[in-house]
Amino acid sequence: NRSAFSVNVWYRHTSFASFGAVIAQYFGGNYYWPSGGNSDIGMCIGNITGASNVVSAGIWNRNAGTWASTATVTQVVDTWYNYTMTFSGGAGTITFYCNNVSIGAAAVSGTITQPSPVNPIAVTRNYNSGGATVYPGKLGALQIYDVELTSTQVTQNWNHFKTRYGY
C-alpha cells in the first residue's frame, strides 16, 4: 500500500496547457495521462481536468483504474502560487492546499500501488503531447516529505517562503 507523503511546491504559470503537471510521479517510463485507463502516473499536482487554467491534486489507483482528485482552483498567469498536496497513506485521503487555503480533499479507495522510489518524479510536464513538452511556468522551492503534513506544518511552510514570492 502507498505510504503517506506530502509535496510542497511554488510555481508561476507563464501560460496554460491542458493536462499538464507541476509535479508528478510515475510507475514506469510511460507518461500517459489517466484518460482511457492507460496511466502510469502515481500522483500529480497540475491540470488534471483538461480545463486550461485550473489546478488540482490527484492520485491514480492503478489497481482499480480510478482517479481520485480534489476540487480545482482557478489560476492566472504570472502569479506565484504555493501548492501543497498531502496524502495520509493506504486507502486514505489526499488534501490540496493553494496559498495556505485548503481547496478540498478526496478519498482514495482500494489498495494503492506504491511506485518504486527509483521511479521518476517529473516537474513541469505537458501530457497533451505525450509528455514530450514542458508545462509552461517557473519552478520555485520544492519540498517532498515522506509523511503527511498537518495543516500547521503547511502554514509553517507558507509563512517561511511567502515573502520570497511576493505575499
Q: What is the pLDDT of residues 55-65, one digit of tens each?
A: 888 877 666 76
Q: Is the pLDDT of residue 99 over 90?
A: yes
* Average pLDDT of the residues in 121-147: 73
Q: What is the pLDDT of residue 115?
A: 53
Instruction: Choose between 94 and 19: higher pLDDT.
Output: 94
3-state SS assignment for residue 84: strand
* Average pLDDT of the residues in 44-54: 75
The sheet with strand 80-87 has its strands ordered as: 101-107, 93-98, 80-87, 5-13, 137-145
* Residue of 150, 152, 148, 153 lying closest to 5 (CA atoms): 148
DSSP H helices, the chain, are: 151-161
Q: Is the pLDDT of residue 116 over 80?
A: no
Distance CA 142, CA 91 (A): 25
pLDDT category, 39, cuts 50, 70, 90?
very low
pTM exceeds 0.75 = yes
* C-beta separation of 77 from 15 below 8 A: yes
* C-beta separation of 9 from 141 below 8 A: yes
* Average pLDDT of the residues in 95-106: 95
pLDDT category, 113, cuts 50, 70, 90?
low
Report the range of poorest mean pLDDT among 1-10, 57-66, 79-88, 93-102: 57-66
pLDDT category, 82, cuts 50, 70, 90?
very high
* Residue of 5, 4, 7 lying closest to 143 (CA atoms): 7
Longest dimension (CA), the chain: 42
